[in-house]
Amino acid sequence: MKTIAIAIDGPAGAGKSTIAKLIADKLHIYYLDTGAMYRAVALKVLREGLDPTNHQQVISILPSTHIGVIYQDGFQRVYLDGEDVTHLLRQPEVAKAASAVAVIPEVRIKLVELQRSIAQNYSVVIDGRDIGTFVLPNADKKFYLTATLEERARRRWLEMQEKGYDQSLEEVKRELEARDRNDMGRAFAPLRKAEDAILIDTTGKSIDQVVNEVWGYLTDISADGR
């Protein structure tokens, strides 16, 4: 059976990762979290004591930075220079730095090569900011998930609270606003809805409602690549 690719784009906090994981599970294929790859690069930058907003500093470590993705029991694990760093990638300071390094074209080019390679070898549901427009423009199905800033901030804040991170709702909202500006305003592969992507507003909807809405567009998809 040929591999298939389903692209899910959208701003931070729109529910991309949650929905992508559930859809991948329903299709019995892999979920590829591209954001985790950018966070891995950001983690390396922070560990090296570099400024994630300084393009030349970030570019200087790319040749010696090795990002790997493997699947264990159906779940994605991200490796940085041979170390499993999956559990470190959701820290607020890493996520903030990832937003800065993600605007650097050289970083995106390096990681897009890896993302395309994975999609060639596995059937995947892949989420990010530029999947349908740049990484996999010929994806079998494309979705663009969005929600109001207030809704996205509330979701991210609750997620941070559950993980023990002490951030106020207003701080989370400001960070999301800054991330939106970075993602939508970058010159190279900015966040935008692909012309052929299906728009789904997740505001006020439960996870099950969104999954069912996405699933309704996938009745013609058949894959079992995991």
Q: Domains in the chain, please, with CATH?
A: 5-213 (3.40.50.300)
Confidence of residue 225 (pLDDT cuts 50, 70, 90): low
Confidence at 226, pLDDT banded by 50, 70, 90: low
**Residue 45 DSSP class:** H
Is pLDDT above 80 for 60?
Answer: yes
Ranking 57-61, 75-79, 201-205 by mean pLDDT, the lowest is 75-79
Partners of residue 78 on adjacent β-strands? 69
C-beta of residue 224 within 8 angstroms of C-beta of residue 39: no
Please report the pLDDT score of residue 99 as a whole number.
Answer: 87
Task: Give the mean pLDDT of 137-163.
Answer: 94
pTM: 0.86
pLDDT at 223: 61
Q: What is the pLDDT of residue 1?
A: 62
User: What is the band of 221 on the pLDDT scale with cuts at 50, 70, 90?
Assistant: confident
Residues with Cβ within 8 Å of 169's Cβ and at least 6 positions away in sequence, in order, are 153, 154, 157
Euclidean distance between CA atoms 126 and 113, whole angstroms: 14
Q: What is the DSSP letter of 188?
A: S
